[in-house]
């Protein structure tokens, strides 16, 4: 733990000494086989960590044969730009069918209205963030055009994904935060109702939220959206491709999709529990009139009449093809089988947590769960579990850690190891060698009311991002 304390973010440049650092353009190219051998070795080293099943989220499928299949599909279209449909019309097939399958999963048939514009539809994006910020763009432009709103606002639970704030920052939308009770972990609809005004363009609910994996009361939010004539975006980026299967398996999962009349858009990531390659996601719309607000067209450009379906211009045909291939290769039966194993594993791991009176489950989770403690700083548990090879995700306000259960956790023996290690971790946390946990420097909460402290933390995060983009200082070239 000593090295971790010196550098809480970890080593960003573990290969610098061993493989060197390219600081200028090489005069001559390297042999292809040499490059392949080097990358294969590094990739296998990095894969060895998540393959243990001790890594929260991140790797949702974990099946190397599935990845190999998707890579083969990707290779056929890796060089193709999906923007240029005259050259690659198959991209239209892939995108249309991905969207159709996702709409079917989200019960979009319940939303079909009269006329072509009232047909549910969608598009494929580069990931959850693009799906979310595109929804912000659509609603801003929709309400500007239809109601003349020039100072738009969105109502956002504090548990909603930061991508909404990113979209608000990019498109000039005011964010109105609604606090979430950490005991309940889902948004209070009455608090949302209080914040709606003439400038409100959208309200947001999560299915489920990333910190705790719990599902906001989407049905009540839907009723509110209809009552107040505002739009409701359901963020299913994390849970969108597993919760529907959990409903079909009979688990206690509330309705959150287009069966609810107030739900106008849904985001869901095909590169998470859709088991596609990074990065693809779907943004589903209740009708085509709404989707048109994500389009960009300009007929006056000297380079020709330009149009694109969303924020991105060039897009990978390989990613579209591989997302499509993942969905059609697994089918309904495959997704149901994987979901059953994941839910069973998640509930078994939650039983382990609940067996310790010192630990406290946050809300009522499903496949993703978070826990804290009133007896000690939960990051002491995280410190110990990290030493045993576990990688959790951390929360703050209050401090908590979460496990997002994916297919690697469904391997034999993982739940048993979790139980054994957590038992030892609780004992460690009750009498830790250090008063302050080490990993708390990375994940733990920083008081919001200390003047200037949040700015210091923000500066540290900016420095970390700089380090992720830059070369290591000095070292072998």
What is the mean pLDDT of the segment spanning 82-109? 91
Give the mean model confidence (pLDDT) for residues 261-266: 97
Residue whose entry in the numeric block shows the structure tokens 């005259």: 86
Give the residue extent of every domain in the chain: 77-326, 332-443
Is 50 exceeded by the pLDDT of residue 1? no
- Give the neighbor-by-neighbor strand order of the sheet with 174-178: 121-125, 281-285, 263-268, 231-236, 200-206, 153-157, 174-178
Average pLDDT over residues 437-448: 65
The interaxial angle of helices 317-354 and 64-77, nearest 10 deg, is 160
Assign a CATH topology to domain 332-443. 3.90.1150
Across 6-10, 256-260, 437-441, which has the greatest mean pLDDT?
256-260
Task: For residue 332, list its beta bridge partners.
Answer: none
pLDDT tens-digit series, residues 426-435:
999 999 998 8
Q: Does 407 score more than 70 pLDDT?
A: yes
3-class DSSP state of 25: coil
Cα dihedral 217/219/222/228 (nearest 10): -80
CATH number of the domain at 77-326, out of 3.40.1410.10, 2.60.120.380, 3.40.640.10, 1.20.1050.10?
3.40.640.10
pLDDT digits (tens, 9 = 90+) for 323-365: 999 999 999 999 999 999 999 999 999 999 999 999 999 999 9
What are the pLDDT digits (tens) for 129-175?
A: 999 999 999 999 999 999 999 999 999 999 999 999 999 999 999 99
What is the chain's mean pLDDT, rounded? 90
Q: How many residues in the chain?
A: 477
d(CA 16, CA 19): 6
Tokens standing for residue 195? 């914040």
Check residues 237 and 447 and name the one with the higher pLDDT: 237
- CB 192 within 8 Å of CB 174: no
CA gap 180, 209 in Å, rounded: 11
pLDDT score of 51:
86
| Listed residue (346, 383, 340, 343) closest to 361, CA to CA | 346
Instruction: Decide: helix, strand or coil at residue 190.
Output: helix
In the chain, what percentage of residues exceed pLDDT 90? 71
Indicate the burial class of 40 (C-beta count within 10 angstroms; 0-12, 13-18, 19 or more). Answer: exposed
* 117 contacts 288 by C-beta, under 8 angstroms: yes
Closest CA to 38 of 65, 20, 25, 13: 20
Q: Which of 163, 95, 105 shows the shortest CA–CA distance to 135?
A: 163
Q: Quick check: 8 pLDDT over 50?
A: no
Distances (CA, A) of 126 to 63, 264, 268, 470: 22, 21, 11, 24
Q: How far apart are CA 20 and CA 14, in angstroms?
A: 10
Answer whether residue 83 shows pLDDT above 80.
Answer: yes
Give residue 9's pLDDT band: very low, low, confident or very high (50, 70, 90): very low
**Which helix (DSSP H) or strand (DSSP E) does residue 460 occupy?**
helix 453-469
C-beta of residue 267 within 8 angstroms of C-beta of residue 236: yes
pLDDT at position 85: 80
Which region holds residue 129: left if phi is over 0, alpha if psi is between -120 and 50, else beta? alpha
For the whole model, what pTM was predicted?
0.90
Cα angle 242, 248, 251 (rounded to 5 degrees) comes to 80
């Amino acid at each position: 733990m000593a090295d971790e304390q010196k550098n809480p973010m970890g080593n960003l440049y573990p290969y610098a000494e061993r493989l060197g650092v390219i600081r200028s353009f090489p005069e001559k190219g390297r042999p292809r086989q040499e490059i392949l051998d080097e990358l294969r070795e590094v990739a296998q080293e990095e894969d060895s960590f998540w393959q243990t099943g001790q890594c929260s989220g991140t790797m949702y499928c974990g099946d190397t044969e599935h990845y190999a299949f998707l890579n083969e599909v990707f290779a056929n279209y890796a060089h193709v730009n999906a923007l240029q449909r005259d050259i690659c019309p198959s991209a239209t097939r892939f995108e249309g069918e991905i969207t159709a399958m996702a709409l079917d999963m989200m019960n979009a048939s319940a939303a079909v209205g009269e006329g072509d514009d009232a047909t549910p539809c969608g598009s494929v994006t580069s990931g959850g963030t693009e799906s979310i910020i595109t929804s912000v763009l659509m609603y801003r432009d929709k309400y500007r055009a239809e109601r003349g709103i020039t100072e738009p606002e969105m109502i956002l639970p504090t548990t909603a994904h930061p991508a909404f704030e990113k979209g608000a920052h990019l498109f000039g939308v005011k964010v109105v935060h609604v606090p979430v009770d950490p005991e309940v972990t889902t948004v209070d609809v009455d608090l949302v109702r209080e914040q709606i005004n003439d400038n409100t363009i959208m309200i947001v609910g999560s299915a489920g939220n990333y910190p705790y994996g719990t599902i906001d009361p989407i049905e009540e939010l839907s009723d509110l959206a209809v009552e107040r004539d505002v739009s409701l975006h359901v963020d299913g980026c994390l849970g969108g491709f597993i919760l529907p299967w959990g409903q079909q398996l009979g688990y206690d999962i509330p309705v959150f999709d287009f069966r609810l009349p107030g739900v106008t858009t849904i985001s869901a990531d095909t590169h998470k529990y859709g088991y596609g390659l990074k990065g693809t996601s779907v943004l589903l719309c209740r009708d085509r009139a709404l989707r048109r607000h994500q389009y960009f067209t300009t007929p006056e450009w000297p380079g020709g009449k330009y149009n694109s379906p969303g924020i991105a211009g060039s897009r990978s045909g390989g990613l579209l093809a591989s997302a499509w291939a993942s969905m059609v290769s697994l089918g309904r039966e495959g997704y149901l089988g994987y979901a059953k194993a994941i839910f069973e594993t998640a509930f078994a791991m939650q039983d382990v947590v609940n067996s310790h009176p010192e630990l406290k489950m946050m809300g009522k989770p499903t496949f993703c769960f978070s826990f804290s403690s009133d007896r000690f700083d939960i990051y002491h548990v995280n410190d110990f579990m990290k030493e045993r090879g576990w990688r959790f995700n951390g929360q703050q306000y209050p401090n908590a850690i979460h496990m997002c259960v994916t297919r690697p956790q469904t391997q034999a023996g993982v739940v048993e190891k979790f139980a054994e290690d957590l038992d030892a971790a609780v004992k460690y946390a009750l009498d830790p060698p250090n008063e302050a946990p080490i990993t708390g420097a990375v994940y733990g909460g920083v008081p919001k009311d200390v003047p200037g402290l949040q700015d210091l933390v923000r500066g540290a995060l900016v420095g970390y991002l700089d380090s992720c983009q830059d070369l290591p200082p000095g070292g072998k070239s």
